[in-house]
Amino acid sequence: MNRLLTIAAAISLLPVAALAEGDAAKGEKAFNKCVACHVVQNAAGETLAGKAAKTGPNLFNVVGKAAGSVEGFKYGSGLEKAKEMGLIWDEANFVAYLNNPTGFLREFTGDKGVRGNMSFQIKKEDEAKDLYAFLTSLNPAE
């Protein structure tokens, strides 16, 4: 019994991002749907995924971070309001946002008038989880 508790305690100390439920390999394929607007480019300027798209923000290190935190990117008012309210891109929030950006922002902020600027939606929950796992795999080791 003590060994089981030790294992459970050790798992609880892992970063939240490491517990992504999706399949990173499938997420890498699914990211092809995102490259028209997004890139994953690290601080050294290396492109890890996507192309030179700038319609949407760079998604490098987005997992587990505050929403709307990419320097120099102009976010819409709905995401800015969610940021002010403390939105963090954990798996549940990320998946719900991808499923319905405007609906998610309205629910999160409680403001039925806000809109999301992202018009594309990932309807399948598993695919959104795969994307989250893929982005998690690109996060730098901490």
Identity of residue 11: I
pLDDT of residue 140: 80
| Residue 127 to residue 99: CA distance in whole angstroms | 10
| Residue 10 to residue 119: CA distance in whole angstroms | 40
17-34 pLDDT, tens per residue? 445 789 999 999 999 999
Identity of residue 10: A
Whole-prediction pTM = 0.82
Count of C-beta atoms within a 10 Å radius of residue 79:
24
- Domain range annotation of the chain: 2-138
Structure tokens at 81: 């309001």
pLDDT of residue 4: 38
Identity of residue 115: R
How would CATH label the architecture of 2-138? Answer: Orthogonal Bundle (1.10)
User: Would the pLDDT of 13 be above 50?
Assistant: no
44-102 pLDDT, tens per residue? 999 999 988 889 999 999 999 999 999 889 999 999 999 999 999 999 999 999 999 99
